[in-house]
Amino acid sequence: MAGLDIGLTVPVWLAEDDLGCIICQGLLAWPVTLPCGHSFCRDCLKDLWGAGRHWSCPTCREGSEQQLELRKNTLLQDLADKYSRAVGELEGGPGPTRSPGPSPRPARRTGLQKAAVRKSTPEVGHELAELVEQLVDIVRSLQSQRHLPESGPDNKLHILGMAFSGGMDLSLDSPKLGTSNTPEGKMRDILRDLEEIRKKLRENFTGKEPLEEQRQVKLPDALSSSSCPMPDQSNPTPKRSSQWAISPTFDLRSLSCSLEVSENCQTVTVSHFPQLYPWSHERFATCQVLGSQAFSSGKKYWEVDTQYCSHWAIGVASWGMSRDQILGRTRDSWCVEWKGTSQLSAWNMVKETVLGSDRPRVVGIWLDLDQGKLAFYSVANQEKLLYECPVSASSALHPAFWLYGLHPGNSLTIRPIKV
């Protein structure tokens, strides 16, 4: 067999997504490939796995009881380097060059450090409140399983309470954490003190939203009229109209083997163990699922409860969306995504738009195919528009959902709309 001509150059079209890491959503740096075939940045995997006792793939959740040896995938590294250099040349300068050794990564700031650099005082307070919300959810989950974390949370909670003191008293009136002798008692003490911190944060930041947040638009009259939602502050908050409100169900054909659904097909949960569903080319490889309903015309509105999921994406996609891609990273899918790191983003035409650091507990989705528009709302006591974009598809669109696969028990629920 004749060898390849080493002088031959074949042009190959590559996008950053082809060489991207789904964890940091950047170009692969010191890439490692797991036995299942999926590749990630080494440092991203180490950060995710932490001190865990089960090491699983973030994409397909195939795992091992023994910690895996992470070896550099030199082929992927070479491709990433060439891509980076090519991008640099297109932008008018030489791309970065790397030494033969491990690729240096910039030092990562913690969430609190980032907030201190970029965010105003109220924004930092809201981020802390979000962190406490997540801790409360974790403790409640552990409480339901009657399982204590191996490392005591005393120091972490103390740091959280002091990280944003700025003249604010976050001292706790309750007894010191861990005063009870039984695991159940310790859990109650932890939960009580977390609730106390959350209460004090809310009291100190009520009405202190930054101007950008205060200017957020209210949900317009689109759900009670024939027009498409537009950013108009003058419109009052309407009631959701039964004319367009729907309650989608999850389609079992597209359901990832990492997910399971409730009997009424309106709650989807990340499984503790891979499910033995029949193989199908319509089934997603990642923790995703489409809705059973397909929309090709008209106006539809539905709501999704996200409070029991730490990392999710919600939107719409065509049935033909590639089953090994992530929602929003294709030209036939659109979504808003909560990254679990105090960042809400929108994905439109394979481009990310950072929306802010507030986590919506309930997301309303307004799809107007007559006008070719899609809008997302944060549904609380006062609805506000999160993002609006045009949509166009050659085929019908389905509700679409992604749950981050490293956290069994995470769930999304289609919420009945009260009109």
| The predicted structure's pLDDT at residue 130 | 64
Average pLDDT over residues 18-42: 86
pTM, full prediction? 0.49
Nearest to 124 by CA among 153, 163, 159: 163
Residue 171 has pLDDT above 50, yes or no: no
pLDDT: is 244 or 101 the higher one?
244
Average pLDDT over residues 238-248: 74
| The predicted structure's pLDDT at residue 31 | 93
Q: What are phi and psi of 162, to 5 degrees?
A: -95, -15
Task: Name the token pair of 94.
Answer: 């030489």
CATH code for residues 16-90: 3.30.40.10
Residue 329 has pLDDT above 90, yes or no: yes
Distance of alpha carbon 355 from its chain centroid, rounded?
13
pLDDT: is 165 or 256 the higher one?
256
Whole-angstrom Cα distance, residue 300 to residue 331?
A: 21
Amino acid at 24: C
Whole-angstrom Cα distance, residue 214 to residue 137?
A: 28
Homologous superfamily in CATH for domain 216-415: SPRY domain (2.60.120.920)
| The predicted structure's pLDDT at residue 54 | 64
Whole-angstrom Cα distance, residue 200 to residue 194?
A: 10
Say which range, 145-159, 190-204, 347-361, has the weakest mean pLDDT: 145-159
> Exposure of 414 by Cβ count < 10 A (0-12 exposed, 13-18 middle, 19+ buried)?
buried
Computed over its alpha carbons, how large is the radius of gyration of the chain? 23
Residue 179 has pLDDT above 60, yes or no: no
Whole-angstrom Cα distance, residue 208 to residue 226?
A: 35
Residue 97 has pLDDT above 80, yes or no: no
Amino acid at 241: S
Q: What pLDDT digit, counting tens, does each position of 282-307 carry?
A: 999 999 999 999 999 999 999 999 99
Residue 210 has pLDDT above 50, yes or no: no
Q: Which residue, chain included where needed, has tokens 């009881």?
A: 65
Q: 11-33: buried (b, 16+ CB within 10 Å) or exposed (e) per residue?
A: eeeeeeeebbbbbbbebbbbbbe
Q: What pLDDT digit, counting tens, does each position of 71-91 carry?
A: 899 898 988 888 888 877 776
Q: 220-237: buried (b, 16+ CB within 10 Å) or exposed (e) per residue?
A: bbbbeeeebbeeeeebee
Average pLDDT over residues 147-155: 43
| The predicted structure's pLDDT at residue 145 | 53
Q: Where exactly are the structural domains of the chain?
A: 16-90, 111-205, 216-415
Residue 308 has pLDDT above 90, yes or no: yes
| The predicted structure's pLDDT at residue 7 | 56
Average pLDDT over residues 238-257: 84
Whole-angstrom Cα distance, residue 170 to residue 154?
A: 15
For residues 32 and 21, the answer to whether their CB atoms sit within 8 Å is: no
Nearest to 38 by CA among 73, 65, 86: 73
- Give 290's DSSP letter: E
> Exposure of 359 by Cβ count < 10 A (0-12 exposed, 13-18 middle, 19+ buried)?
buried
| The predicted structure's pLDDT at residue 291 | 97
